[in-house]
Structure 1
Amino acid sequence: MKTYEFDAKSLVIETFNTLSHFAGVVLGIVFLTLMINKSLLIGSKNLPSFIVYGAFFILMFLTSTIYHATFNKKIKAFARIFDHTAIFLFIAGSYTPVITSIFSGNMRILLLCSIWLLALGGTIFKIITHNSYDKYKKISVILYIAMGWFAIIIFKPLLLEKSVKFIILLVLGGLLYTVGTIFYKSKNPVYHIVWHFFVLGAAIIHFFSYYFYLIS
């Protein structure tokens, strides 16, 4: 079995990385359960979109957990592909209940197709470039941020349809994700832990915005 050689510091760092996003997996399961229960209780027609969001919430944190938890070289390289592509899928999954709740008809279809095609494109990009991770890291970050702020396109309808509190939480979560990429880009492995907590915090904030202001 080929394994990475970890010193004590690296082992501690990877342990924190693993545990931080395993917490995301656990929270994702709890959040998905809460959203399903509330949607069923109030008879929300948008339940499928919240299931999509919750499923990809769990998937993103799960792939990250597996990637950081393994010491097998081949498995780790393979897991990194899923870790990175899951980010694109989670972004699209996060937009799905927002778009579904606000738009209808052709506009809903157009926006959903757009965000999921972007996710597909990002996924293909990461698969094609997985052997040149460092070379394309900056491009990946730009793609993550650009797709994350896709919300600017639908900002006016958001203001008209949803409460100010929902908008504030949505923007706050987006800012946390964006600021977190500063640490993601760093070559210092300690900063990757910081990135993980930014992601976890942003994901939690977005969940609360959905649970309290979107499921209605």
Structure 2
Amino acid sequence: MEPTPTHPENRRRVQRATESAVQEVRETAGEVKDAAKDVVATIKPKLRGWLHLGTTPLALAAGIVLVALAPTTTARVAAAVFAITAVLLFGTSALYHRGSGHFSERTSAVLKRLDHANIFLIIAGTYTPFAVLLLPPGQGRTLLWLVWGGAIAGVLFRVLWVGAPRWLYTPVYVALGWVAVFYLPGFWRNGGAVVVTLIAAGGLLYTLGAVVYGTKRPNPSPRWFGFHEIFHSFTIVAFAAHYVAVSFSVYGAVPGAG
């Protein structure tokens, strides 16, 4: 005898079929949602890369002035290191972001590695004039070993693992950037309150930019000016603050002088 539609066994079959169908719909909806997010993520804001493209020639010109007016060979070398790392940062970033879609996949991958690696170089390059010009030789060498050793390790990390999660490598940038906090008293003695204030302000701006980059928030206009553009804005203003601090150090400080 066949079970009737109201038979308990039939009801269980219908319930299982319904639950299975609902689960499939949920999974499909989730896949569609994830796919939509991926599509949105690949559509870059129209201003992506333009900020750093405009900053590159300014950083180059400012760097040339900084080096040309430096009073000593030591100051010129330290200023040149800072300027070169800044131009590399902004120039590579502009090339990578503005050239997206025009380069081969292999070239884009190389530029991405360089773009991320240059962040470590600008950190070490920024602290080089302060270490050389504002600290006693022993302390200066120690700071240089710390920041350049960390920068080289960071470059290798980003080049060898370009797909590392954002939550992992972003704090590494911030940590290396704040290594020199332990040397602020020395910077204060030989550079003064203005230099230390500018160093701290630039570091804070870089940190805020890293938070925006790491969290992807705020993202005001994904079509024109998204979270990445805010991040780039922070890096530009932070560089400007550090440029002024380096200028004071280069033009007015003598290594080891009180």
Equivalent residue number for residue 55 of structure 2: 24
Aligned length: 203
Unaligned runs of 5+ residues in structure 1 are: 1-5
> TM-score, normalization: structure 1?
0.86
Equivalent residue number for residue 204 of structure 1: 240
Runs of 4+, deviation exceeding 6 Å: none
Equivalent residue number for residue 60 of structure 1: 89
Please state which structure has a larger fraction of its residues in helix: 1
Looking at structure 1, the residues matched to 195 and 61 of structure 2 have their Cα atoms a distance apart, in angstroms, of: 21
How many Å apart are 1:117 and its aligned residue? Answer: 0.6
Equivalent residue number for residue 191 of structure 2: 162
Looking at structure 1, the residues matched to 214 and 235 of structure 2 have their Cα atoms a distance apart, in angstroms, of: 14
Looking at structure 2, the residues matched to 196 and 210 of structure 1 have their Cα atoms a distance apart, in angstroms, of: 21
How many Å apart are 1:44 and its aligned residue? Answer: 5.8
Identical counterparts, % of pairs: 25
Are residues 1:88 and 2:117 paired? no
Equivalent residue number for residue 10 of structure 2: none
Instruction: Please give the root-mean-square deviation of Cα atoms over the aligned residues, in Å.
Output: 2.0
Equivalent residue number for residue 80 of structure 2: 51
Trace 1:92-103 onto structure 2 (pairs within 5 A): 92-103=124-135
Corresponding letter in the other structure for 2:43: S
Unaligned runs of 5+ residues in structure 2 are: 1-38, 253-258
Equivalent residue number for residue 3 of structure 1: none
How many Å apart are 1:213 and its aligned residue? Answer: 4.3
How many Å apart are 1:186 and its aligned residue? Answer: 3.2
How many Å apart are 1:86 and its aligned residue? Answer: 0.5
How many Å apart are 1:77 and its aligned residue? Answer: 1.8
> TM-score, normalization: structure 2?
0.73
Equivalent residue number for residue 143 of structure 2: 111
Secondary structure of the 2:74 match is coil
Is contact 2:52–2:93 with CA below 8 Å preserved after alignment?
A: yes
Larger deviation, residues 17-26 vs 59-68:
17-26
Corresponding letter in the other structure for 1:23: G
Q: Over residues 63-104 of structure 1, what are the superposed CA-to-partner deviations in whole Å (9 max), with x where a residue is unaligned?
A: 111110121333222211000000001100001000000224
Secondary structure of the 2:48 match is helix
